[in-house]
Amino acid sequence: MKKTVYILLGLIIAVFSACSPDQDPIDQNEASTSSLKITMDHKMGSANMAYNVDLALPSSENVQMSRLSYILGGFYLIDGNNNKVLLKDQYALIEAHKGDVTFTLTDIPLGDYISIGFSIGLDSATNHGNPNQYAAEHPLSPINNSLHWNWTGGYIFTALEGKVVKDAETFIFHLAGDQNKLDFELPTSFSTSATDADKEAVITYDVSEVFKNPEIYSIASDGASSHSVSSPVTVKLIRNMSDVFTKFEVK
Amino acid sequence: MKRLLLFALIGTSIYACTDVVNEVPNTPFSTTPYTFTYNKNLLPPARIPKDNPLTQEGVALGRMLFYDPILSADSTQSCASCHNQKDGFTDNQLQYSIGIRGTVGKRNSMSIANLMWHLDGFFWDGRSDILRHQALMPIEDPTEMDETIGNVVVKLSNSLMYKEAFEKAFGSTVINDETIGKSLEQFMLTLVSANSKFDRVMAGLETFTVQEQTGRTIFNAEAIPLNEEQDPNNPQNFGADCFHCHGNSLFMSREYLTNGLPNVTDLGRGGVNGNTRDNYKFKATTLRNVEKTGPYMHDGRFGTLEEVVQHYLGDLSDATSDLGNEPNMHALRDSVYLSEDHKAALVSFLKTLTDEEFLTKEEYSNPF
């Protein structure tokens, strides 16, 4: 009788152990590549960027911003041996006015890194490729980003829209064109390993820089819209945008 | 005895494991995947819900339901009553749709072409975020079919034809709101319009006329303020700026936008989300087949495309919405000044979006 009880107990244990879902001997925490989750932190000078509320531009004009959208591409990292690690076919659509400010770079080799590079805008081939190749939710799908100039005409790299408080006149800056892709390389210092693969970072974007450095931009005197890739409005704003990223910080 | 217990142990282990992992229905069934045939250079990759893969059986069932007035309380109206294929799946040139009790609706029936790629909700105000849920809402709307889903389930369950069709599509004769919604979703997802003259030109199979090409340029060019220097011979300088809101291959926007109409009382998107900044905003609907989908705007106030174009050429000074909050519309106020020839060119371009295959395709038509 005692023997039968032991056998029945064994049977019950065997049944449960046979169905155990955790049979994989590989440690799931060991990663072979790493990821970097990046949040864009938008500022207006020292203040947090806000939308549809009064803001003072460096020109002293009071405005309300209603849209800040842009496309990031051309991501790469420089590792500790000064090798360039390209993160191909990875893009980000930032719609700051909607709070969509976070994206994740993936398939990053494990290692030590000293800087990150990327562009506001796209290389010419990608810019003029067939936009229908992308799934509707992809950052480069015109259905998703509303930043595309008909068929293969290319993307608007940055859309900045709003109104001037004083006279309620609107401004629309749609910055596009291959020559207006802006390249950035920001210093950093972080390491990833098999057990510490997924990192988070914050990039600070100071919107006031668009309107002040090296030249103060006045909507009233410089213009309220940019109609072409080489208009004086576009040229001035693009030049000012070369210093918009003021900090890259890995948590 | 020991041997018997050993067999029992092994047998019980196998049974227990099989029971846990085997979630297929009692009655095995097989379905045939539905395959899209549109030109993938012209529209994005198919976008199908993972939990509702398209099958020929599911699509066929959805098509039956779409065209069957059994969905309405008095069996007089089907989905197709207000979404007529020949009108680009809109309502027979009516300004407002009329429900089974004669109730007149408050909005114009929308096109349901290319719904697969809609990212931000359905209906003019986006009050439904999933197509299968959208599909059920007109059934229960008292101003439309005025039926309950419960009654529909009973009526369909009493039909041998439908029991068989549901079994073929979902492996069970049990009918419920989920399978009704999913089958309607499947059929509507197949409604792809991608063979207009515009598409054939993009595919290199045809060419635009000079007038159509001029219209396309006007459609895609930005509005330029009147005070800036113009070259009267360059249509690029006469931008109607349509593309900002109708710019991708769907000719629509995912955004809810104001379009400068006066005397709007319908809160639109703002009535759904409670955000006053979204008051009087509506889905910027597709322009595909726009020649056939009149009357136009959310309230069907314009009968012709020429009237629509004329609206955008106006100064928009009596717009209900604050256009200061919609810079792209605000920019049109005093910027668009098309000649009669240019207006005609713009309309002629819009008519290249008519897809006769879509309007007549057998697999989209009434199966009864």
Residue A226, pLDDT score: 85
Question: In this structure, are B206 and B129 located in the same domain?
Answer: no
The DSSP 8-state label assigned to residue B94 in this structure reads -
Q: Across all residues in chain B, what is the average pLDDT? A: 90
**pLDDT tens readout for residues B26-36:** 557 899 999 99
CATH code of the domain containing B121: 1.10.760.10
Residue A4 placed within a domain = no
List Cβ neighbours of B362 (8 Å cut-off, separation of 6 or more). Answer: none
For residue B275, what pLDDT is reported? 95
Contacts 24+ apart (CB under 8 A), B314-319: B314/B260, B316/B260, B318/B262, B318/B263, B319/B258, B319/B260, B319/B261, B319/B262
Among candidates A111, A80, A87, A83, which has minimal Cα distance to A38?
A87
Residue A58 covered by a domain: yes
Across the interface, do B254 and A146 touch by the CB < 8 Å criterion? yes
Whether residue B13 lies inside any domain: the answer is no
Is residue B158 domain-shared with residue B239, that is, in the same domain? no
- The count of domains in chain A is 1
Q: Is the pLDDT of residue B182 over 90?
A: yes
Which residues touch B141 (CB under 8 Å, ≥6 apart)? B99
Residue B154 placed within a domain: yes
Q: Which residues pair with A63 in a beta bridge?
A: A55, A164
Higher local confidence (pLDDT), B338 or A98 = A98
Q: What is the pLDDT of residue B221?
A: 83
Cα-Cα-Cα-Cα dihedral sign, residues B230, B236, B242, B243:
negative
Q: Residue A218's pLDDT band (boundaries 50, 70, 90)?
A: very high
Out of B148, B165, B193, a domain closes at B193
Question: Is the domain of B171 the same as that of B126?
Answer: yes
Q: Are both B148 and B95 inside the same structural domain?
A: yes
Instruction: Give the side-chain half-sphere CA count within 13 A for B22.
Output: 10
- B274 with B312, same domain: the answer is yes
Token digits for A106?
Answer: 């993936």
Nearest Cβ partner of B327 from A148, A150, A171? A171
Nearest C-alpha of chain A: how many angstroms from B42?
Answer: 6
| Nearest-by-CA chain B residue for A162 | B327
Q: Tell me what pLDDT residue B206 has.
A: 98
**B68 and B213 both lie in a single domain:** no
Please tell me the predicted confidence (pLDDT) of residue A63.
96
In this predicted structure, the answer to whether residue A12 has a pLDDT above a threshold of 80 is no
Q: Between A171 and B240, whose confidence is greater?
A: A171
Length of chain A: 251
Q: How confident is residue B327, by pLDDT bands cut at 50, 70 and 90?
A: confident
Residues B142 and B262 in one domain: no
CA gap B78, B155 in Å, rounded: 14
- pLDDT tier at B229, thresholds 50, 70, 90: low
**pLDDT above 60 for B186:** yes
Mapped onto helix, strand or coil, the DSSP state of residue B228 is coil
Looking at residue B286, the DSSP 8-state letter turns out to be -
Closest by Cβ to B327, choosing from A131, A149, A161: A161
> What is the predicted pLDDT for the residue at A25?
44
Same domain, B81 and B166: yes
> What number is the ipTM of this complex?
0.87
Residue A46 belongs to some domain of the structure: yes
Does B357 have pLDDT greater than 90? yes
A98, part of any domain: yes
**Would you place residue B15 in the very low, low, confident or very high pLDDT band (cuts 50, 70, 90)?**
very low
Q: What's the rounded mean pLDDT across residues B132-141?
A: 98
Q: Which residues of A touch B (CB under 8 A)?
A: 4, 7-8, 10-11, 14-15, 18-19, 52, 66-67, 130-137, 141-144, 146, 148-151, 153, 161-163, 168-172, 174, 225, 227
pLDDT at B189 over 70: yes
> Given the structure tokens 């593309």, which residue do they identify?
B243
Q: Is residue B345 part of a domain?
A: yes
- Tokens 């704003």 locate to A237
**How much is the pLDDT for B236?**
61
Tell me which residue range forms the domain holding B225: 197-358
Supply the range of the domain harboring residue A220. Answer: 33-250
- Angle separating helix axes A2-18 and B2-21, nearest 10 degrees: 20
Domain annotation covers residue B62: yes
Residue B366 lies in a domain: no
Residue B268 sits in the same domain as residue B335: yes
Residue percentage of chain A with pLDDT more than 70: 87
Tens digits of residue pLDDT in B141-154:
999 999 999 999 99
CB contact under 8 A, A143 and B5: no
In the predicted model, what is the mean pLDDT of residues B88-100? Answer: 95
* pLDDT of amino acid A2: 52
Tokens of B362: 């057998």
Partner residue facing A170 (CB), from B41, B43, B330: B330
* Whether residue B235 is found in the same domain as residue B142: no
**B148 in a structural domain:** yes
A contacts of B119 (beta carbons < 8 Å): 136-137, 143-144
pLDDT digits (tens, 9 = 90+) for A94-129: 999 999 999 999 999 999 999 999 999 999 999 999
Residue of B217, B245, B248 to mutate for A, most A C-beta atoms under 10 A: B248
Closest listed residue to residue B298, CA positions, set B167, B163, B20, B105: B105
**What mean pLDDT is predicted for residues B127-150?**
97
Residue contact A15–B13, C-beta within 8 A = yes
Report if residue A120 sits inside a domain: yes
* pLDDT tops 80 at residue B187: yes
Longest CA pairwise span in chain A (Å): 100
Tell me how many domains chain B contains: 2
B363 belongs to a structural domain = no
The rounded percent of chain B whose pLDDT value lies above 90 is: 77
In a 13 Å sphere around the CA of B1, the CA atoms on its Cβ side amount to 6
Closest Cα to residue A33, out of A199, A158, A148? A199
pLDDT at A20: 44
Q: Are B88 and B196 in contact (CB under 8 A)?
A: no
Show which of B161, B193, B225 is a domain's final residue.
Answer: B193
Question: Residue B5: which of A7, A141, A168 has the nearest Cβ?
Answer: A7
Distance CA A9, CA A22 (A): 22
B108 and B73 inside one domain: yes
Output the CA torsion sign for A103, A106, A108, A111. Answer: positive
A151, HSE (Cβ side, Cα atoms, 13 Å): 12
Per-residue pLDDT, A205: 97
Quick one: pLDDT at residue B23?
A: 44
Strands A62-79 and A156-164: antiparallel
Same domain, B176 and B283: no
